[in-house]
Amino acid sequence: MPTLRRDFESRDDLIAHYREQFPEAAAVSDWVSDTRGGRDAAEALLDNVDPVEYGRTRNHLSGAVTRLSPYLRHGVLGLAETRDAALAKVDDPSRAYKLVNELAWRDYYRRVLAEIGDAVWDDREPYKTGLDAEDYADDMPDDVTNAETGNDFVDGSVRELYETGYLHNQQRMKLAAYVVHWRRVRWQAGAAWFLSHLLDGDVASNNLSWQWVASTFSHQPYIFNQENLRQWMGGRFTGDSVGGGSPFRGEYDEIKARIFPRA
Partner 1 sequence: MNENARDKAVIWVHDEMLSLSWLGYVRRAAERTEIVGAVFVFDDTWVADERLSLKRLVFMAECLEQMPGVEVRRGDVVQEVSAFAEAHGTTRIVSLASTSPRLRRQGEQLGVDWVCEPPFVELPARIDLKRFSRYWGKAKSRVFRTTEEIMEQA
The distance of closest approach from Cβ of residue 40 to partner 1 in the complex, given in angstroms and rounded to an integer, is 6
Out of 58, 60, 83, 89, which residue is the one contacting partner 1 (CB under 8 A)? 83
At residue 229, what is the residue type?
Answer: L
Query: With CB under 8 A as the contact rule, which of the stretches 37-45, 148-156, 171-179, 244-252 interacts with partner 1?
Result: 37-45
Paired with 185 in beta bridges are: 137
Determine contact, residues 166/200, Cβ cutoff 8 Å.
yes
Q: Is 239 near partner 1 (CB under 8 A)?
A: no
112 forms part of the interface with partner 1 (CB under 8 A): yes
Q: Which of residues 121-160 bind partner 1 (CB under 8 A)?
A: none
Residue 54 Cα distances to 27, 60, 120, 148, 176, angstroms = 36, 10, 29, 33, 23
By CB under 8 A, residue 252 contacts partner 1 = no
26 binds partner 1 (CB under 8 A): yes
Task: Name every residue whose Cβ is closer than 8 Å to that of residue 238 and which is 6 or more positions away in sequence.
Answer: 152, 153, 226, 230, 246
| In the complex, minimum distance from the CB of residue 73 to partner 1, in angstroms, rounded to a whole number | 8
- Looking at 110-118, 137-145, 174-182, 255-263, which segment touches partner 1 (CB under 8 A)? 110-118
In whole angstroms, give the CA distance from residue 140 to residue 174.
Answer: 16
Written as one string, the DSSP assignment of 218-246 is SSS-----HHHHHHHHTTS----BTTS--
# chain residues binding partner 1, by CB under 8 A: 78
68 binds partner 1 (CB under 8 A): no
For residues 148-182, one letter each, b for 16 or more C-beta atoms within 10 angstroms of the residue's C-beta and e for the rest, the string is: ebebbbbbbbbebbbebbbbbbbbbbbbbbbbbbb
Q: Does 243 participate in binding partner 1 (rule CB under 8 A)?
A: no
Nearest approach, Cβ of 106 to partner 1 (angstroms)? 8
Classify residue 124 by its DSSP letter: S
Candidates 95-103, 176-184, 234-242, 248-256; binding stretch for partner 1 (CB under 8 A)? 95-103
186-225 binders of partner 1 (CB under 8 A) = 192, 195-199, 201-204, 218
Choosing from 44, 53, 105, 148, the residue that interacts with partner 1 (CB under 8 A) is 105
Stretch that binds partner 1, among 61-69, 106-114, 128-136, 238-246 (CB under 8 A): 106-114
Q: How far apart are alpha carbons 110 and 125 in whole angstroms?
A: 18
Residue 199 and residue 165 in contact, taking contact as beta carbons nearer than 8 Å: yes
CA distances from 251 to 43, 224, 239 (A): 44, 9, 14
Q: Which stretch binds partner 1 (CB under 8 A): 45-53, 116-124, 126-134, 225-233?
A: 116-124
Question: What's the min distance (Å) between Cβ of 173 and partner 1?
Answer: 15
Q: Of residues 53, 93, 227, 254, which one binds partner 1 by CB under 8 A?
A: 93
Q: How far apart are alpha carbons 7 and 14 in whole angstroms?
A: 8
